[in-house]
Amino acid sequence: MKTDLLFDFTVDKASKTVHIKREFNAELSLVWDAFTKAELIDQWIAPKPMISKTKYQDFKVGGKRFYAMVSPDGNERWALQEYTSITPKTNFKMHNAFADKDENPELPGSEWDHNFIEENGATIVNIIIYNESLERLERILDGFTQGMKMSLSNLETLLATLSKK
């Protein structure tokens, strides 16, 4: 069993883009399911001790997934994803935005592009997140890491360091 799975994570401030690349020790169809079926997404997308709870999902172009990240103290952070493009087992794109519990999104959100490639029985997933704001990154972090109290303007610059890498 392969254990040294490829993992890249880079952030580019200039283009407000996050690149994430990861290899999985499974065939493409399984990985595709894990990224596109709510009951599977909920099992891994929330970093413990958070849990992910999908209220509903309609995986088709124009369809949505409305879900919450729930912290151990029961605090719910809702977000709304809208699928903008789907090429089965190859690519899907979505718009992701924080929302209130009544599904009102806080715009603008970010654009997520997922690419899936099978290679020698393993699957490589490339995720590109466009227009990711530092505020959003910070809010994701918040709730599971304590003590991060950087101001927004400070966060703006986070992406700068990695833009050189």
Partner 1 sequence: MRRDIFQAIADPTRRAIITLIALQAMTPNAIADNFHTTRQSVSKHLRILTECELVKQEQQGREIYYSLEIEKMKEIDQWLNQFRKIWETRFNQLDDVLSTLKKQKK
Q: Is residue 151 classed exposed, middle or buried when 0-12, 13-18 and 19+ CB atoms within 10 A define those classes?
A: exposed
**Residue 48 lies near partner 1 (rule: CB under 8 A):** yes
**Residue 7 lies near partner 1 (rule: CB under 8 A):** yes
Neighbours of 137 (CB within 10 A): 17
Report in angstroms how near the CB of residue 95 gets to partner 1 at its nearest: 20
**Residue 51 lies near partner 1 (rule: CB under 8 A):** no
- Pinpoint the alpha helices (H) of the chain: 28-36, 38-44, 134-141, 152-156, 158-163
Distance, in Å, from the CA atom of 90 to the CA atom of 32, rounded to the nearest integer, reads 8
Question: Which SS3 state, helix, strand or coil, does residue 29 take?
Answer: helix
**Residue 89 lies near partner 1 (rule: CB under 8 A):** no
**Residue 160 lies near partner 1 (rule: CB under 8 A):** yes
Are 54 and 67 in contact by the 8 Å Cβ rule? The answer is yes
Q: Which span sits near partner 1 by CB under 8 A: 16-24, 62-70, 90-98, 110-118? A: 16-24
**Residue 140 lies near partner 1 (rule: CB under 8 A):** yes
**Residue 145 lies near partner 1 (rule: CB under 8 A):** yes
Binding positions for partner 1, rule: CB under 8 A? 5, 7, 9, 11, 20, 22, 24-26, 30-31, 33-34, 40, 43-48, 137, 140-141, 144-145, 148, 150-151, 153-158, 160-162, 164
